[in-house]
Amino acid sequence: MNIILFGPPGSGKGTQAVNICENLRVPHLSTGDMLREAVASGSDIGKKAKEIMENGGLVSDEIVLSIVKQRLASKDCESGFILDGFPRTINQAKGLDSLLEESQKIEYVLRIKVDEEDIIKRLIDRGRSDDKPEIIKNRFKSYNSQTQPLIPFYEEREILFNINGMQEIEKVFEDIKKVIGI
Ligand code: B4P
CATH number for the domain harbouring residue 31? 3.40.50.300
Q: What is the pLDDT of residue 96?
A: 97
Give kind and range of the element (H or E) at residue 65.
helix 61-72
Please state, in angstroms and rounded to a whole number, the distance separating the CA atoms of residues 102 and 88: 22
pLDDT band at 135 (very low <50, low <70, confident <90, very high): very high
Domain enclosing residue 86, as ranges:
2-175
- Report if residue 33 sits inside a domain: yes
- pTM for this prediction: 0.95
Q: Indicate the angle between helix axes 61-72 and 90-99, nearest 10 degrees.
A: 30
> How large a percentage of the chain has pLDDT more than 70?
100
- Report if residue 155 sits inside a domain: yes
Q: What is the pLDDT of residue 102?
A: 84
- Report if residue 181 sits inside a domain: no
- Report if residue 164 sits inside a domain: yes
**Ligand 1 pocket, residue 56 CB under 6 Å:** yes
User: Closest Cα to atom 52, ligand 1: which residue?
Assistant: 122
Strand partners, 82: 3, 28
Please state, in angstroms and rounded to a whole number, the distance separating the CA atoms of residues 59 and 156: 26
- Report if residue 180 sits inside a domain: no
- Report if residue 10 sits inside a domain: yes
Marked catalytic residue, from 105, 128, 157, 171? 128
Q: What is the mean pLDDT of residues 114-132?
A: 92
What's the pLDDT tens digit per position in 99-109? Answer: 998 889 999 99
- Report if residue 182 sits inside a domain: no
**Ligand 1 pocket, residue 63 CB under 6 Å:** no
Number of domains in the chain: 1
- Report if residue 12 sits inside a domain: yes
